Amino acid sequence: MMQHLFVTGGAGFIGSNVVDHLLDLGFQVTAYDNFSTGKKAFVSAAQKRANFRLVQGDLLDEKHLATAMQGCDFVFHLAANADVRFGTEHPKKDLEQNTIATFNVLESMRSNGIRRIAFSSTGSVYGEAVQFPTPENSAFPIQTSLYAASKLAGEGLITAYCEGFDFQCYIFRFVSILGERYTHGHVFDFYRQLLAHPDELHVLGNGKQRKSYLHIQDCLAAMMLAIDKSKEKVNLFNLGTDEYVEVIDSIACITALLKLNPRVTFAGGERGWIGDNPFIFLDCSKIRQLGWEPRLSIREGVVRTVQWLQDNHWALEHT
């Protein structure tokens, strides 16, 4: 039974959406965030509710974290350095904010007697996958980015705690998530560029990178369903749509929506950056077998994301 949930990264894009959803369901929620990328505005509605508590803190501060977690019975560990692209510019950030932070979350849970955790991992852990769509048990991958390596390190720690300390975990390997409060990634970058220069758009890679996106509300529904229905010790799910688009397709969608016709230039190469996976397309039949399906197509998700950005220009300015 969940009653009081602890959400790391609770003021971030995914975290704050999880917080609002859990509050709507009547749960007690404590959000923990260092506001490195989280935003006060994302939890301003939550803060008006009696069943919500916000703790400002860093996951590297073990004592503060353990104290904040007191009384909780389930942890959504969603805090992360999600800055995938710039991993090679500051390798220690992924180690600290993803790997060590996850270790601290697990140790705080252990010291508080909490044994259930949901974790936001990534489809990037499949590296350059050899099978498409890629199922959860595809071939043992080789990591190509510091971000994915740190997420896989987090997965390994969590499942080892399941075996060693009788934890139960829900690990979700996401495609790119977008939607309301989305503040990084392709669509964000393109929108911001077009706002500054409506007549030109510069694209990393050759534009042919194939990506899959999932809307935050569909992502939320999938996570809640998995936690409700799946009762293994280790519950591991890919989360994505059964479709993918090329980066140039996203661009066409965004420019049509904005009624723009920019000159598009490409940096070239099949990868957008070092360690970028030119094709991410996950086999999501495992979560679908529980009865979930996405309500929004990739195109509809992109449209809603751009609309949210149009209504929330302030969110473009503070990143």
Question: Which residues make up the interface to a copy of itself (CB under 8 A)?
Answer: 87-88, 91-92, 95, 99-100, 103, 106-107, 126-127, 136-146, 148-150, 152-153, 155-157, 159-161, 163-165, 234, 236, 274-275
Residue closer to a copy of itself, measured from CB, 111 or 297: 111
Q: Least CB distance from residue 82 to a copy of itself, whole Å? A: 16
CA 36 to chain centre: 15
Give the shortest CB-131-to-a copy of itself separation in angstroms.
Answer: 10
Which H helix or E strand runs over 224?
Answer: helix 216-229
Of residues 107, 214, 91, 213, the one with CA closest to residue 150? 91
Contact call for residues 11 and 76 (beta carbons, < 8 A): no
DSSP 313: T
CB of 23 to a copy of itself, least distance (A): 32
Q: Are strands 168-174 and 4-8 parallel, antiparallel or unpaired?
A: unpaired
Instruction: Quote the least distance from Cβ 25 to a copy of itself, whole Å.
Output: 29
Residues 121 and 192: their CA atoms lie apart, in Å, by: 26
Nearer to a copy of itself, 100 or 315 (CB): 100
Single-letter residue type at 214? L
Cα gap 265→215, rounded to integer Å: 27
Instruction: Provide the edge-to-edge strand list for the sheet that holds 168-174.
Output: 52-56, 28-33, 4-8, 74-77, 116-122, 168-174, 234-239
Measured from the CB atom, the residue of 88 and 307 that comes closer to a copy of itself is: 88
Phi, psi of 310 (to 5 degrees): -60, -35
Least distance between a copy of itself and beta carbon 211 (Å) = 19
* DSSP code per residue over 9-72: TTTSHHHHHHHHHHHHTT-EEEEEE--SS--GGGGTTGGGSTTEEEEE--TT-HHHHHHHTTT-
Q: Quote the least distance from Cβ 160 to a copy of itself, whole Å.
A: 4
Nearer to a copy of itself, 136 or 300 (CB): 136
Q: Which is nearer to a copy of itself, 26 or 164 (CB)?
A: 164
Report the nearest approach of a copy of itself to the CB of residue 269 (Å).
Answer: 14
In the complex with a copy of itself, the residue whose CB is nearer, 107 or 249, is 107
Comparing CB distances to a copy of itself, the nearer of 5 and 158 is 158
